[in-house]
Amino acid sequence: MTDTTTPSNPSGTASAAAELIARSNRLGADPKNTNYAGGNTSAKGTETDPVTGEPVELLWVKGSGGDLGTLTESGLAVLRLDRMRALVDVYPGVEREDEMVAAFDYCLHGKGGAAPSIDTAMHGLVDAAHVDHLHPDSGIAIATAADGEALTKEIFGDRVVWVPWRRPGFQLGLDIAAIKEQNPQAVGCVLGGHGITAWGDTSEETERNSLWIIDTAAAHIAEHSKAAPFGPPLEGYAALPAEERRARAAALAPTIRGIASADRPMVGHFTDADVVLDFLAAAEHPRLAALGTSCPDHFLRTKVKPLVLDLPATATVEESIARLHELAAAYREDYQAYYDRHATPDSPAIRGKDPLIVLVPGVGMFSFGKDKQTARVAGEFYVNAINVMRGAEGLSTYQPIDESEKFRIEYWALEEAKLQRMPKPKPLATRVAIVTGAASGIGRATAEKLAAEGACVVIADLSLEKAQAAAADIGGADIAVGVQVDVSDAAAVEAAVQAAVLAFGGLDLVVNNAGLSLSRSLLETTEKDWDLQHDVMAKGSFLVAKAAAKVMIEQGMGGDIVYISSKNSVFAGPNNVAYGAAKADQAHQVRLLAAELGEHAIKVNGVNPDGVVQGSGIFASGWGANRAAVYGVEEKDLGKFYAQRTILKREVLPANIANAVFVLCSAELSHTTGLHIPVDAGVPAAFLR
């Protein structure tokens, strides 16, 4: 193994890899330098071969996948330079250049580190100690300008050389190596339709050259761009006021997610960043959006082009929804035609015809992916594309690579192989869940379980702070978010469902868990007690189910609603009239809604827990002490006491309830609705019949 960090490393070139990582992290930290996970960097140096004791020349290069900003040593591929360069002698020509990727495996040093990427040839063949290949918006703007070659000369003189578009691979590496040799004065090149490559004798010099190309291109654009690169403002297409556009986005989101998920379910991301709104407010946006993106990184993430709603922001929600459905049908036909135009008998099968980017003038951009991170990055990529188009149109005319070349990237056999190697998705991947009362106890355990099984989770509870803290414990904003809600307040429930829809694009899974328990005899139960129990549990779950079902029906993707009712929904426990009656109400909602929502493929089921002491706020806030006193046991032993009353003699934990919720929502119970599962370790008095 290459230990590049040991200071006592005899050759002293351990620092080459360390310098490479530091430089990559700096470059990757600033989005002006490259898109997320885009570009790659390398260093060459000498180490002692542990087998021969002789010096050996090595190439460290960022491997396939991962981001420069967070690159660590495990993300580097390590190759023997002599063997890598010897590949030139067996290279069979551009028609078979893809075969060279497999040949890289025969050049690895030691275990080789990360898998070498397609750009390895460029890094190894260019005769420079350090090489950066980046996708900066400013550089791609020049690379996609119709007269990019002339602009490169005008901006950089002979210091940066134009390389016509060529799909990344071994041949592109040979081309760039030749250009460097023929232009000893050059510090880098602009790769037509794609990005930039820079080099230097030291890491520092290379970084300086990369930044000089990026900043010089940006400065040239700033100074020479025409005033309104996207054209004059379009009447009615200006951004709606912030609150109005978020409400509009939430109203359109279920329809849009349904459209993006026609072939396979997707998680969504929404942004109303100025850069998007400004683009959509200008006259040229339909023409430019139709031209599509250009940088090779984009096609799998954003598809060739977005779906653009061709109505002004002044259109009504109903008009917008009707038009979106028409445009979606046209998009699918258009995508099929694109596939048919370019596919050859050995092309991978079509991967789905739905848009990944949907643009709504005055409102913003929806982007989609197999999980939240992928959806968010797709949106970031389209923002990159807008920046590129602005730069290119400002100086010249935006001219991305030919459609046939886009297809060669999107349906590249090497990309397909990468997709095939992806791990199987988790059971609840792409599903968006909202769990009420999830800052504590059973709700929290349920949110954790759903997230662990791949769902995106919205934690809704009375306290925003506690909801956010629970969400942060479960994962970052790509996995869980916390929102404030009082489920007995219809407006608050609407707002929480809106927040869920804006966070993840839609909603598939609802857990009506929020609750509280007052144990009082009939004569002690006040009207207020009765109302509180019924407001939170009976009315609260009705309101949540109603708001969520509206979203699910509009999405057309089915869904699950799960009620956490109780043993007490069927068992007449002592001193329990308000709580027990509210639980019985919830249990009957399960049956009523199962019958009503089935035609929309929405399943409604329930779980009947009992005696969940650990983690339960209900037990901690006096109810437990009261019960313990009634039974003559210590409060801390209450769980064990309850266990002894059960058939299985087992204590019921929040995780046991969470598992039942998961099973009800999983594919295994796809044909079950209107069911309650008791999770009580066996209580004969609460058997269902």
Ligand X SMILES: NC(=O)c1ccc[n+]([C@@H]2O[C@H](COP(=O)([O-])OP(=O)(O)OC[C@H]3O[C@@H](n4cnc5c(N)ncnc54)[C@H](O)[C@@H]3O)[C@@H](O)[C@H]2O)c1
Residues with a catalytic annotation lie at 579
Mask for 655-674, x = binds ligand X (CB under 6 A): --------------------
Q: How far from chain centre, in Å, is Cα 289?
A: 22
Residue placing its CB nearer to ligand X in the complex, 440 or 555: 440
Cβ–Cβ < 8 Å for 606, 564: yes
Residue placing its CB nearer to Zn ion in the complex, 57 or 119: 119
Residue placing its CB nearer to ligand X in the complex, 330 or 688: 688
The region of 185-193, 224-232, 271-279, 485-493 touching ligand X under the rule CB under 6 A is 485-493
Cβ–Cβ < 8 Å for 526, 472: no
Residue placing its CB nearer to Zn ion in the complex, 109 or 123: 123
Residue placing its CB nearer to ligand X in the complex, 16 or 562: 562
Q: How many CA atoms lie within 13 A of 270 on its CB side?
A: 25
CB of 577 to ligand X, least distance (A): 15
Cα angle for residues 158, 161, 167 (degrees, 5° grid)? 180
Site size toward ligand X, by CB under 6 A: 29
617-636 residues in contact with ligand X (CB under 6 A) are 617-618
Please say whether the dihedral angle defined by the alpha carbons of residues 488, 491, 495 and 498, taken in this order, is positive or negative. positive
CA distance 611 to 307: 52
DSSP helix/strand/coil, 212: helix
Residue 564 in the binding site for ligand X (CB under 6 A): yes
Mask for 183-202, x = binds Zn ion (CB under 5 A): ------------x-------
Mask for 421-460, x = binds ligand X (CB under 6 A): ---------------xx-xxxxx-----------------
CB of 496 to ligand X, least distance (A): 9
CB of 285 to ligand X, least distance (A): 42
The region of 80-88, 154-162, 292-300, 509-517 touching ligand X under the rule CB under 6 A is 509-517
Which one among 609, 651, 664, 683 touches ligand X, defined by CB under 6 A? 609
CB of 191 to Zn ion, least distance (A): 7
DSSP helix/strand/coil, 341: helix
Rg (the chain; Cα; Å)? 30
543-562 residues in contact with ligand X (CB under 6 A) are none
Cβ–Cβ < 8 Å for 264, 352: yes
Residue placing its CB nearer to ligand X in the complex, 147 or 489: 489
Residue placing its CB nearer to ligand X in the complex, 612 or 660: 612
Q: Which long-range contacts (CB under 8 A, 24 or more apart) does 220-225 make?
A: 220/155, 220/395, 221/138, 221/141, 221/391, 221/394, 221/395, 224/394, 224/395, 225/390, 225/391, 225/394, 225/395
Which of Zn ion, ligand X, none interacts with 582 (beta carbon under 5 to 8 A by kind)?
A: none
CB of 608 to ligand X, least distance (A): 7
Neighbours of 99 (CB within 10 A): 12
Strand partners, 607: 564, 677
Which one among 461, 508, 560, 651 touches ligand X, defined by CB under 6 A? 461
Residue 584 in the binding site for ligand X (CB under 6 A): no
Residue for token pair 């950066």:
132
Residue 610 in the binding site for ligand X (CB under 6 A): yes
Phi/psi of residue 364, nearest 5 degrees: 145, -155
Helices (H) then strands (E): counts for the chain? 26, 19
510-539 residues in contact with ligand X (CB under 6 A) are 513-517, 536
Residue 295 per-residue DSSP state: S
By the criterion CB under 6 A, which residues form the site for ligand X?
Answer: 436-437, 439-443, 461-462, 485-488, 513-517, 536, 540, 564, 566, 609-612, 616-618
By the criterion CB under 5 A, which residues form the site for Zn ion?
Answer: 195
